[in-house]
Structure formats: structure tokens, C-alpha cells
């Protein structure tokens, strides 16, 4: 048992810098007799409706009806890239034309794959703006399984990038986003996303800060997000749907997290990416509690599980494809998605970004935006505002919930590390030797540690599940000493006294 007594370095940011990789878009001929069909690339995503065999990666296959009696198969092989990332190369296409006659004709032609506007005068912008058309590769593969909202903040940031200004993206997540289940850091979805966005927005310098912490959820981040991403972010991407599990107290913390992030100095756009885990008692997890809260705050949600899991349920061996498999004993880690899951996560966010770029482009031809003349409906600019009340409080006609300005001391950050001003028996300890899961730990009666905290409200985040214990919400403003001491009493069936501390936060 623990007793509490109350009395009167710069954060190193890792910037991911990689060479941008070209996005190759397959240009379909304007011939009225030609049609196209999409197939999966090496199992990285859904297969064709007829569940054809997975094709080799980097090979795109297109079927086209030339005449009623002829079938064309086209194998596309990219040549070397051009020097600039804003242009796509020209590919050489070899077509084998087989007819019902006994003769076979082979011909070679050059096809320009540079994205070009659709012939319709009503639409402008890149080719992928033809939703699910021949150049909208991601829509053809994944469709859209998401809540997107008004996208007001996100489009504001994209306009900034299109103008050539730099943008900064902060990412909060758990072990999936940290890279567990990967053997190569370059396969992390955050790295892939950086590459895809830099290709999509070559005029802007993009910085990505991965602030993921394993075994961590909204209860920690709601007060300690500032320890892991900078305050001047333009976009924050949240991946906490698995670690929050389906626990209402974590949903309360998630709402506080959204409010704290939305009020940061640059009023950043928030984007939620939800993954899947299949080792818990239910498939539904914390992300299913996040989604309605995200909708209330107009923050988009992209969901890997809803897009992919129905297909896995029909094709069970694919679970080993999309989750990490331990190399030594071939066990499947149903908590951490594999490189294929990471790839789709990055591409889902890129597809969402493309849709917003298309909407911005369309605004140029349709500049008149909605204005509510009588004020009974919200104007688009109002969607950036943070609601004055939380969902987890009762309705009140005048109350305004104050801004959350948290402070945090944590063993998982160098910015404000959790260091006692006095201690006896408490020491730094890591869970199962994993340096990414450190704790302050004590295990003997009489062990104590004294911490200096400030603000009228403070709480502890304890043990490896980051359970929260609120110490007080009535302390007067100012500095206080918080003493944590191990008592002889214990509820451990084995008589143990071990206690782990992750952070002390205040607001």
C-alpha cells in the first residue's frame, strides 16, 4: 500500500529526413473501348473482387478490351526517375495482342504517365481528384472507411504548405507507432508518411516528430503530450485506439487530450488514425469510444480495422500477413501490425490528404463558400473553435470550460524528467529489460520519495497500465511537496509491495 503526504534539457527532436519517393499514377487512355481493373500489390492491401493471386510488387496490371475478340495485357516497368520530384517519368509499355485468330502481334509504345487534368471542364486539379478514377490509386484500393468532418483546420494547414511554408507534424501513439513489430525503422508508418507527404507537397519543408511512447494511452498523454511533441505543431496525428482499450475513464482523458491539443498556439489540425489488435477479449477497443468524441471536436478519424478486418475474417491466413510474426517460434503478435499494416496506415492518411487537396483546388472554381445568414447553422470558420463544454459534463447555458494548461514530470521524457528531491529506496527500473518502458519503482515498506509539484490539482500515473490516482484537486496555488511512501499493508496475494510510478502531472 502507498501513502501520500502533501506539504507546503532541452527535448531532443528527431527530424526524419529521407529522399522523397515518386508516386506512380497509371494513366488510362481516353479510348472509349478501354477499361481498367485494379489488383493487389503483393498482398499489401485488399485483393481484386475475384480474389486473384497476389501479384509481384511494383508490377501494375491493367486489362483492356480492344475489340470483342481481343484481350490486351500490359506489364508496366518504371524507368529511372527524373531529377525533380514534381514530374513523373515516361514508361515503356509492351503489349501482346492476342486475337481469336492464330496470329499474335507484339507492339511497343511509349505512354506518358504525367498526371493530367480530367477532360471534364467542371473539375480541376491533379488526376487523383477524379474520386476513385484511374489516377486515384488509394481510393481504388481502400475506399473510404472514415469520419472526416469539415476538415477546416487541415485545409488551412495544407494551404500553408502549398504556399511554400514549412509545416510541422507531431505524432502521439503507443508501441505500434513506436515501431514494435518491425525489423527496420524505415518501414514505420511515420517514415512512410513523411516520404509520401513530401512527394505530394514538394514545395513545403515537412518535419515529423514521432512522440510515441510504448504502453501509453490518453490518461498519460492528456497531461503529458507537451513532453513528447513541440508546442508549435501544425498537425497532430493520434494513434491510441488500442492502448486506451474500451474504458470510459480513458475516453474522458482522450477528450481532455483533444482540448489541450486544439488550444495549442498554432491551433493545429488533429487527425486520428486507428489500428487494430486481435488479442483482447473483444475486437472493439478504445477507438470505438474515441470516434464520437472526435466527431464532436470535428477531428477526422481514419480506421485501418474497419477497412481491413472484414476481409481478414473471410481470408484467415491474412492475419499472419498483417500482424507481426516472431521469427523464432512463428507466433503471431496480434497486438502489433506488420510492415503491411504500416504501409496501409501511411497510405490512408495520404489518401485523406489528397482528398483535401482536391477540395482546395475545387474551391478555386467554386469560390463562394457557405454563409449562414441567420446564424442558425455554423459557418465553416467556426468549425475551428473548441466547444465551450465537454461531452463528459452536463449542459449549461453559460458555463465555459477553462483551457487545459498541464505540466508533467515523467520518467519517459528528457524535457521534465521525474526526479525526486529526496528519496529512500526508490530507483529507476525497466519492465522486462525494455528500455522504452522505464518506471520509478519501490518494493519495501518504508521506502519513500518526495517530489516538488506546482498547481492546485495533481495526480499520479502508476504501474505499467498507467492507471491514474488523483491526489487532490483542492490544493492552493503554488509549490507543494508530494511524499510517496510504501506501507506494510498490501493487497498482493503473494505479499509483495512493488509499486511503479510513471509520471506526476498537474493542471
The more confident residue out of 32 and 494 is 494
The more confident residue out of 36 and 236 is 236
Please identify, among 335, 366, 397, the residue that sits at the C-terminal boundary of a domain.
366
Please tell me whether residues 359 and 464 are part of one structural domain: no
Ranking 51-55, 125-129, 335-339, 437-441 by mean pLDDT, the lowest is: 51-55
Contacting residues for 55 by C-beta, under 8 A, at least 6 apart:
39, 40, 41, 42, 61
* Residue 435 within a domain: yes
Domain CATH code at residue 160: 3.40.50.1110
pLDDT of amino acid 420: 95
What pLDDT digit, counting tens, does each position of 298-340 carry? Answer: 999 999 999 999 999 999 999 999 999 998 888 999 999 999 9
Contacting residues for 495 by C-beta, under 8 A, at least 6 apart:
none
Please tell me whether residues 7 and 38 are part of one structural domain: no
* Residue 131 within a domain: no
Please tell me whether residues 205 and 327 are part of one structural domain: yes
* Burial status of residue 66 (CB atoms within 10 A of its CB: 0-12, 13-18, 19 or more): middle
Question: Where in the sequence is the domain holding 56, given as residue range(s)?
Answer: 26-114
Ranking 62-66, 228-232, 332-336, 470-474 by mean pLDDT, the lowest is: 62-66
Q: What is the DSSP letter of 27?
A: P
Please tell me whether residues 198 and 343 are part of one structural domain: yes
* Residue 19 within a domain: no
Please identify, among 336, 366, 396, the residue that sits at the C-terminal boundary of a domain.
366
pLDDT of amino acid 181: 86
Please tell me whether residues 168 and 73 are part of one structural domain: no
The more confident residue out of 25 and 115 is 115
Q: Is the pLDDT of residue 51 over 50?
A: no
Please tell me whether residues 290 and 204 are part of one structural domain: yes
Q: Is the pLDDT of residue 408 over 50?
A: yes
* Residue 312 within a domain: yes
Please tell me whether residues 359 and 413 are part of one structural domain: no
Tell me what the mean pLDDT of segment 367-378 comes to: 78
Instruction: Indicate the average pLDDT of the chain.
Output: 76
* Residue 71 within a domain: yes
Please tell me whether residues 360 and 446 are part of one structural domain: no
* Residue 484 within a domain: yes
Please tell me whether residues 174 and 230 are part of one structural domain: yes
Domain CATH code at residue 432: 2.60.120
Please identify, among 366, 397, 422, the residue that sits at the C-terminal boundary of a domain.
366
Please tell me whether residues 209 and 309 are part of one structural domain: yes
Cβ–Cβ < 8 Å for 38, 141: yes
Q: Is the pLDDT of residue 378 over 90?
A: no
What pLDDT digit, counting tens, does each position of 471-490 carry? Answer: 777 778 788 888 999 999 99
pLDDT of amino acid 132: 57
Query: Residues 355, 361, 363, CA angle at the centre, nearest 5°?
Result: 105
Please tell me whether residues 305 and 414 are part of one structural domain: no
pLDDT of amino acid 203: 97
- What element of type H or E holds 339? helix 339-365
Cα distance between residue 274 and residue 288, in whole Å: 9
Cα distance between residue 351 and residue 196, in whole Å: 10
What spatial distance separates the first Cα and last Cα of the chain, rounded to whole Å? 26
Q: How many structural domains comprise the chain?
A: 3
Please tell me whether residues 36 and 6 are part of one structural domain: no
- What element of type H or E holds 393? none
* Residue 128 within a domain: no
* Residue 138 within a domain: no
Amino acid at each position: 500500500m502507498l501513502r501520500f503526504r502533501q506539504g507546503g534539457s532541452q527535448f531532443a527532436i528527431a527530424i526524419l529526413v529521407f529522399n522523397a519517393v515518386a508516386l506512380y499514377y497509371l494513366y488510362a487512355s481516353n479510348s472509349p473501348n478501354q477499361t481498367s481493373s485494379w489488383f493487389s500489390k503483393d498482398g499489401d492491401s485488399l485483393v481484386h473482387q475475384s480474389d486473384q493471386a497476389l501479384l509481384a510488387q511494383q508490377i501494375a496490371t491493367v486489362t483492356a478490351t480492344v475489340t470483342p475478340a481481343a484481350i490486351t495485357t500490359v506489364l508496366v516497368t518504371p524507368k529511372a526517375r527524373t531529377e525533380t520530384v514534381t514530374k513523373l517519368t515516361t514508361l515503356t509499355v509492351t503489349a501482346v495482342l492476342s486475337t481469336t485468330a492464330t496470329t499474335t502481334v507484339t507492339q511497343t509504345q511509349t505512354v506518358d504517365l504525367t498526371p493530367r487534368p480530367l477532360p471534364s471542364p467542371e473539375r480541376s486539379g491533379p488526376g487523383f481528384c477524379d474520386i476513385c478514377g484511374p489516377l486515384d490509386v488509394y481510393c481504388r484500393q481502400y475506399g473510404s472507411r472514415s469520419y472526416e468532418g469539415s476538415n477546416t483546420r487541415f485545409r488551412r494547414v495544407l494551404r500553408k504548405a502549398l504556399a511554400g511554408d514549412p509545416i510541422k507534424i507531431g505524432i502521439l501513439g503507443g508501441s505500434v507507432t513506436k515501431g514494435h513489430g518491425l525489423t527496420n525503422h524505415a518501414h514505420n508508418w511515420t517514415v512512410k508518411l513523411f516520404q509520401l507527404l513530401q512527394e505530394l507537397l514538394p514545395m513545403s519543408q515537412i518535419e515529423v516528430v514521432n512522440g510515441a511512447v510504448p504502453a501509453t494511452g490518453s490518461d498519460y498523454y492528456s497531461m503529458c503530450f507537451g513532453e513528447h511533441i513541440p508546442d508549435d505543431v501544425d498537425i497532430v496525428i493520434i494513434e491510441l485506439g488500442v492502448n486506451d482499450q474500451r474504458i470510459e475513464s480513458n475516453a474522458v482523458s482522450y477528450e481532455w487530450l483533444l482540448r489541450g491539443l486544439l488550444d495549442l498556439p498554432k491551433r493545429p489540425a488533429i487527425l486520428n488514425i486507428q489500428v487494430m489488435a486481435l488479442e483482447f477479449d473483444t475486437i472493439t477497443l478504445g477507438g470505438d469510444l474515441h470516434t464520437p468524441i472526435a466527431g464532436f471536436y470535428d477531428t477526422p478519424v481514419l480506421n485501418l480495422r474497419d477497412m481491413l478486418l472484414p476481409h481478414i475474417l473471410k481470408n484467415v491466413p491474412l492475419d499472419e500477413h498483417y500482424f507481426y510474426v516472431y521469427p523464432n517460434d512463428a507466433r503471431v503478435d496480434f497486438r502489433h501490425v506488420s510492415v503491411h499494416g504500416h504501409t496501409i496506415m501511411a497510405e490512408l492518411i495520404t489518401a485523406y490528404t489528397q482528398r483535401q487537396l482536391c477540395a482546395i483546388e475545387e474551391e478555386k472554381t467554386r469560390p463562394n463558400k457557405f454563409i449562414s445568414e441567420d446564424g442558425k447553422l455554423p459557418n465553416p470558420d467556426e468549425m475551428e473553435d473548441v466547444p465551450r463544454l465537454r461531452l463528459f459534463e452536463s449542459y449549461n447555458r453559460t458555463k465555459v470550460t477553462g483551457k487545459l494548461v498541464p505540466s508533467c514530470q515523467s520518467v519517459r521524457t528528457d524535457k521534465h524528467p521525474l526526479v525526486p528531491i529526496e528519496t529512500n529506496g526508490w530507483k529507476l527500473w525497466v519492465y522486462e529489460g525494455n528500455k522504452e518502458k522505464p518506471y520509478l519503482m519501490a518494493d519495501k515498506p518504508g521506502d519513500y520519495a518526495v517530489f516538488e509539484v506546482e498547481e492546485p490539482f495533481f495526480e499520479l500515473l502508476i504501474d505499467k497500465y498507467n492507471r491514474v490516482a488523483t491526489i487532490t484537486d483542492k490544493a492552493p496555488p503554488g509549490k507543494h511537496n508530494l511524499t510517496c511512501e510504501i506501507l506494510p499493508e498490501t493487497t498482493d496475494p503473494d505479499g509483495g509491495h512493488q509499486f511503479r510510478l510513471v509520471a506526476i502531472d498537474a493542471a
